[in-house]
Structure 1
Amino acid sequence: MFLKALKGIGRGKTNKNLIKPFRASFSKPEATQDSVKEKVKNIPNIVEFLNKTRRVAPETPADYTAGDRKKYLIETYGCQMNVADTEVVQAILEKAGYEPIDTSPALDHNEVKARKEAADLIFVNTCSIREKAETKIWNKIKSEYKGLKKRDPDKIIGILGCMAERLKEKLVDNKIVDIVAGPDAYRDIPRLVDLIRGSQDVEDKPKAINVQLSVDETYADIIPVRTEQNGLHAWVSIMRGCNNMCSFCIVPFTRGRERSRPIESIVNEVELLRDQGYKDITLLGQNVNSYHDRMSQDITSSHQNSEGFNELFKTRGGEGARFADLLDKVSAIAPEVRFRFTSPHPKDFPDPVLEIIAERPNLCNQIHLPAQSGNTDMLFRMRRNHTREAYLELVDNIRAKIPNIALSSDFIAGFCDETDEEFADTLSLLEIVKYDLAYLFAYSLRERTHAHRRMEDNVPEDVKQERLRAMIDVFKKNQLLKQMDEVGKYHLMLIDGVSKRSDTQFTGLTDTNKRVVIDNSLKVHESWKDYTSSAGSSLDLTSPSVGDFVKVKIEDASQNTLFGTPICKSSISDFEVSMKDCL
């Protein structure tokens, strides 16, 4: 929601005549609480929102430069999409003339603290998926940010992301928070900041809020300012929002309706990253594999679900570029760049998606397949709209088409009305599938969701925690067995840094997303061809470095780490050839 008083604020200047009516709505004692709450309550509910198609978020003018080199920093919490959103916000702020302050993980606590003191603006990109994530932010507001504001009343504190969207009313009421901006309002942040900076009354500052969701905002035209430190891994947002409306999930209410970026804008961003030397790109979306560019003229693919899966709601039909088409395009233009994607839904894995992953060596052998529960009745209460049997058939289909695939999943313990028998089905699914990685949580009730409105959170907390521990035990037992199965196998490892535990070791990821550690003092051959032609000779060996793809043989394994011996440097395509020689 962006109040009309903001319209007309000049570039870098504040219209004081417009400040008064805006402040009257937020700051006068007789109007502040009731008027703000009333405006927030009038925001459309999700049903009304899904039926509206007009663009509502205003855009900052292209030449807007109100920053005057004021310094900002952003703290990011939650999922990879929040990391990508932070990179978008940085691009918007820097274009408007604001200067970033680095708070990289390499800095010690005291240095980070000093930089926060020096910042003119602090933004917090937040997560609402579980209560614990929100509690952490509230605690920071009450302690750390309160102290910062006390020492520097002019410092601006802004809350961004899902928590801003979900808890807008409470955040507006909070005296520490100056700006509240939802995920679709980031273009407007410079003007929101300008409004706060234009106020001369430190004791009675206005609040700036824009939490209106959009049906078409994808930030496709914004080139993100990359925050990843080593220049190897990059996030590329391909779609936003979610239409699935699972009964436990707040995402459709905080992120809005699904909409996809034009395929050409994604291809252009990937080409830029390729040319800049990035080696591992993750395609992002709240429901990433439901990607659908309806405006695509040269690609006309029809919608398909995974076998045995159905949509909870009728989908918008029509042809256009689908997820398999996108994977085809990006993998073809950057054959020596790895591609991953997250977070998908099991219903959107038709055969064309699996076949292109199996065909292209640079599409990683890694699929996230959120199950949430192993019981059919529970799945329908969760509004997942598929059976246990359909899920297991999908697992079999994936493994048949992509034999070396690594599977990961999400599970919830203690969802509404879950019985011991239903939970036993979840444990058995974990036992049958034997995931390489799993994200396991006790159920956390979220307001506004279907479960909050129609169901009872009636599984006691101690039972939730007991079931969570049982899930963890089953998963970890099988995870270690999966790790030990890797011993003796070859992998292509992208070296992405020095190990945190030892500066004598390199660390990196396989295409199955497994962490590998190697001795960084060992030298290797320049290529597999050199290795095979040298017959084991130590002549002309070279030291690998960060950014190199290296073929490694796995010698040992722990719960979360593989330990390998480096053999030779390699490209992605050469690794595929070398693996045929190893058979």
Structure 2
Amino acid sequence: MKYKNFYIENYGCQMNISDSDIITSILLNHGFILSENLDKANIILLNACSIREKAELTLKKRLEQLKFCKKNKKIWIGIIGCFSKEIKNFFCKKKMVDFFVPPDSYREIPNFIYYSIMGMQYLSYIKKRNETYADISFVNVKTKQNNKKITSFLSITRGCNNMCTFCIVPFTRGRERSSDPDSIIKECKRLYKNGYKEVTLLGQNVDSYLWIEEKNMNQNQKNVVDFSKLLDLLAKEIPMMRIRFSTSNPHDMSNKVLEVISKHKNICKHIHLPVQSGSNKILKLMNRKYTREEYLFLVQQIKNIIPECSISHDIISGFCNENEQDHQDTINLMNEIKYNYGYMFSYSPRPGTYAYRKLKDNVPQHIKKKRLQEIIDLQRKHSFYRMQEYLGRVEEVLIEGESKKNNQYWYGRNTQNLIVVFPKKFFNIGDYAYVKIKNTTSATLIGELCI
């Protein structure tokens, strides 16, 4: 086939990046060629996200730009990933997209491309609700700087059963299913052998990971692997590889997981723990399955068992029926915890969700923006406070590349997932360096090598 160069752009979360690695591996194994240059590609894949309205708006703007490319050369555009029925219908009407590939049909993507090039439509009617892509091995593709990647994302669960009222994931990615632990361990070992130094285990809710294998049907014996056991197995099997994970749902995180993290040096001391709101009323409307008090107790458990652990958050401002007291509950919770960093958004209704169908988006836009800005300003203050705690400390840093602001500096992350920059000397990407912290911003630790 003449047209085999493909290019991928991501719009969304870490799960999308992991999915792009899966798609890249599938296409490379079918003879396609990955291009890092959009102008050299004939097949353009846009990995969509419907979780936030902003991601969909960005995708629409991007497609408006790409439609002019179609006038100048032969290109085929496909939308893959987390897209809603509404956005599919929108692009179908505009006739801007040649094919759509949902998360459970990535194995079929070569067929979608072949048929599109032939001017035909390909529809995959086989719904693989148990698909985990556990047998797909990632290919380590060199970057523009000719450097191999040293960190990777690996999905261990797909889909979600939580049914938060604001979230579309259960409708775009389906119900939750877990990958075979043996396949996860095998892939992590392969990644390490191929030069990766760190892997981040992914799931909409990694803590609900569960694999049950019937060992002896007659004796009713089962091999049960939960998330704590999986972490323990991985840490022991690949002791030189850093292990991270995301995302944790507070109502599923257990002390067993915390104790395993505390026990192993190679499991990073950072937990992303979305709270979404500090108000019990709003948490209930969101169907979050925990209270403010339970969340604060969990944070205290984390600090007790893993004192050096950093904690980050997701917060949504302006959810349905949120009043000023609800907002202040969130502000007070932030002041009590003082997160290391976080991801903050104003609520945008997502078609297909319970909140879109049953609840009123009744907080005015200007109030949402005002509350969001207060949350952002407070988090910036807390982030700087937490960063100041590292002054004078020596941090073990995995070097990931050159600093974007100064190519005479390396950047990397410590075990708490905090960015560290320091002057280049001796080391290479993928090395560990011990760095003494001399200065900080609210987002970056700045140091010098300990020699």
Q: Give the TM-score normalised by the residue count of structure 1.
A: 0.73
Q: Could you tell me which residue of structure 1 aligns to residue 396 of structure 2? A: 492
Is structure 2 residue 4 aligned with structure 1 residue 86? Answer: no
SS in 2 for 1:185: helix
Is structure 2 residue 199 aligned with structure 1 residue 278? Answer: no
Q: Could you tell me which residue of structure 2 aligns to residue 348 of structure 1? A: 252
Is structure 2 residue 448 aligned with structure 1 residue 565? Answer: yes
Residue from 40, 61, 67 that aligns with 1:146:
67
SS in 2 for 1:439: strand
Q: Could you tell me which residue of structure 1 aligns to residue 80 of structure 2? A: 160
Is structure 2 residue 422 aligned with structure 1 residue 511? Answer: no
| Aligned residues of 2:197 and 2:241 also touching (Cα < 8 A) | yes
Taking the aligned partners of 2:24 and 2:431, their CA distance within structure 1 comes to 29
Taking the aligned partners of 2:277 and 2:77, their CA distance within structure 1 comes to 39
How much does 1:559 deviate?
Answer: 1.1
How much does 1:227 deviate?
Answer: 5.0
Q: For the structure 1 residues 279 and 381, does the alpha-carbon distance in structure 2 shift closer, same or farther, using more than 3 Å as the test? A: same
Q: For the structure 1 residues 402 and 554, does the alpha-carbon distance in structure 2 shift closer, same or farther, using more than 3 Å as the test? A: same
Q: For the structure 1 residues 545 and 91, does the alpha-carbon distance in structure 2 shift closer, same or farther, using more than 3 Å as the test? A: closer
| Aligned residues of 1:126 and 1:159 also touching (Cα < 8 A) | yes
What pairs with 1:61-140 in structure 2 (closer than 5 Å)?
Answer: 67=1, 70-103=4-37, 116-140=38-62
2:31 aligned partner, one-letter code: G
Q: Any idea what the Cα deviations from partners look like across 1:484-513, whole Å, max 9, x if unmatched? A: 111022211111112122222111100101
Coordinate RMSD, CA, aligned: 1.8
Taking the aligned partners of 2:326 and 2:285, their CA distance within structure 1 comes to 12
How much does 1:401 deviate?
Answer: 0.2
How much does 1:431 deviate?
Answer: 0.5
Taking the aligned partners of 1:293 and 1:418, their CA distance within structure 2 comes to 38
Is structure 2 residue 359 aligned with structure 1 residue 474? Answer: no
Residue from 464, 467, 471 that aligns with 2:368:
464
How much does 1:198 deviate?
Answer: 2.3
Residue from 181, 185, 189 that aligns with 2:105:
185
| Aligned residues of 1:71 and 1:101 also touching (Cα < 8 A) | yes
Q: Any idea what the Cα deviations from partners look like across 1:143-201, whole Å, max 9, x if unmatched? A: x221111223x4211111112666333333331211011111111111122222223xx
Q: Could you tell me which residue of structure 2 aligns to residue 302 of structure 1? A: none
Q: For the structure 1 residues 117 and 496, does the alpha-carbon distance in structure 2 shift closer, same or farther, using more than 3 Å as the test? A: closer
Taking the aligned partners of 1:319 and 1:464, their CA distance within structure 2 comes to 48
How much does 1:290 deviate?
Answer: 1.0
Q: For the structure 1 residues 295 and 225, does the alpha-carbon distance in structure 2 shift closer, same or farther, using more than 3 Å as the test? A: same
Q: Could you tell me which residue of structure 2 aligns to residue 554 of structure 1? A: 437
How much does 1:68 deviate?
Answer: 5.5
Taking the aligned partners of 2:78 and 2:134, their CA distance within structure 1 comes to 23
| Aligned residues of 1:74 and 1:125 also touching (Cα < 8 A) | yes
Structure whose residues are more often strand by fraction: 2
Once superposed, which parts of structure 1, at least 4 consecutive aligned residues long, lie more than 4 Å away? 209-213
Taking the aligned partners of 1:211 and 1:102, their CA distance within structure 2 comes to 32
1:215 aligned partner, one-letter code: R
1:558 aligned partner, one-letter code: T
Taking the aligned partners of 2:118 and 2:35, their CA distance within structure 1 comes to 23
Q: Could you tell me which residue of structure 1 aligns to residue 236 of structure 2? A: 332
Select the structure of larger CA radius of gyration.
1
Q: For the structure 1 residues 481 and 117, does the alpha-carbon distance in structure 2 shift closer, same or farther, using more than 3 Å as the test? A: closer
Q: Could you tell me which residue of structure 1 aligns to residue 185 of structure 2? A: 267
How much does 1:226 deviate?
Answer: 3.6
Q: Could you tell me which residue of structure 1 aligns to residue 352 of structure 2? A: 448
Q: Could you tell me which residue of structure 1 aligns to residue 172 of structure 2? A: 254
Q: Any idea what the Cα deviations from partners look like across 1:224-279, whole Å, max 9, x if unmatched? A: 23457442111111110000000011111111110111000000001111111211
2:354 aligned partner, one-letter code: H
Taking the aligned partners of 1:227 and 1:385, their CA distance within structure 2 comes to 41
| Aligned residues of 1:495 and 1:507 also touching (Cα < 8 A) | yes
| Aligned residue pair count | 442
Q: For the structure 1 residues 228 and 249, does the alpha-carbon distance in structure 2 shift closer, same or farther, using more than 3 Å as the test? A: farther
| Aligned residues of 1:296 and 1:321 also touching (Cα < 8 A) | no
Taking the aligned partners of 2:150 and 2:115, their CA distance within structure 1 comes to 38
SS in 1 for 2:185: helix
How much does 1:453 deviate?
Answer: 1.0
How much does 1:477 deviate?
Answer: 1.1
What pairs with 1:237-386 in structure 2 (closer than 5 Å)?
Answer: 237-295=155-213, 297=215, 320-386=224-290
2:133 aligned partner, one-letter code: Y
User: Alignment identity in percent?
Assistant: 39
Taking the aligned partners of 2:166 and 2:126, their CA distance within structure 1 comes to 23
| Aligned residues of 2:250 and 2:290 also touching (Cα < 8 A) | no
Taking the aligned partners of 1:177 and 1:460, their CA distance within structure 2 comes to 34
Taking the aligned partners of 1:391 and 1:477, their CA distance within structure 2 comes to 22
SS in 2 for 1:412: strand
SS in 1 for 2:450: strand
Taking the aligned partners of 1:281 and 1:253, their CA distance within structure 2 comes to 27
| Aligned residues of 1:69 and 1:97 also touching (Cα < 8 A) | no
Q: Could you tell me which residue of structure 2 aligns to residue 220 of structure 1? A: 134
Taking the aligned partners of 1:405 and 1:220, their CA distance within structure 2 comes to 30
Q: Could you tell me which residue of structure 2 aligns to residue 19 of structure 1? A: none
Larger displacement relative to structure 2 (73-82 or 415-424): 73-82
Taking the aligned partners of 1:375 and 1:332, their CA distance within structure 2 comes to 40
